[in-house]
Amino acid sequence: MAWRDTLQSLQTELAEVRAERLRQAKIDESQRQSERQRLVDLANSLQINQLVEDMNQVLLRREGAIEAYTSWDPPEDKPEDDLDILHPADDDDEDDADYISAVLTWDEDGEREIAVDLGLSDEGLYLQINGIDVRPEREALEQALVEAFREELQI
């Protein structure tokens, strides 16, 4: 009977641990949703998508293509099987960092691209254009976009 008593005791302990893990998972998800909303709000206040659209309209006469997406929503135009190749399941190195991206691509003497990434990493909030850090302020973003365009065309 000692065996059964041990298992019963372990079952009670296991139930407590599982309940605590579930509670912590709910707290973590709530924090993650809050962080994601913070990113969305900042992207909207900076008007990232509008700035990229303006570049496409004015500089490229709408000949460019714009792809805007968030890390927590898979791109709609890609089949799920392709997503596994592009974003392998839960890499511990990446720790599921959340980000919002807007990418302008066009063909002008070769393929050109300007990628704007706004996200949260272990170091905090970041804004990058083509991998270069930019202050998360509208004026700095506008200047960096113009500079990135110039760099892409080497002008």
* Domain regions of the chain by residue span: 46-153
* pLDDT in the model for residue 122: 87
Regions in the chain scoring below 50 on pLDDT: 79-94
Whole-number pLDDT of residue 101: 97
* Alpha carbon distance 147, 154 (integer Å): 10
What is residue 90's predicted lDDT score, i.e. its pLDDT? 43
Q: pTM here?
A: 0.77
In this prediction, residue 87 carries a pLDDT of 44
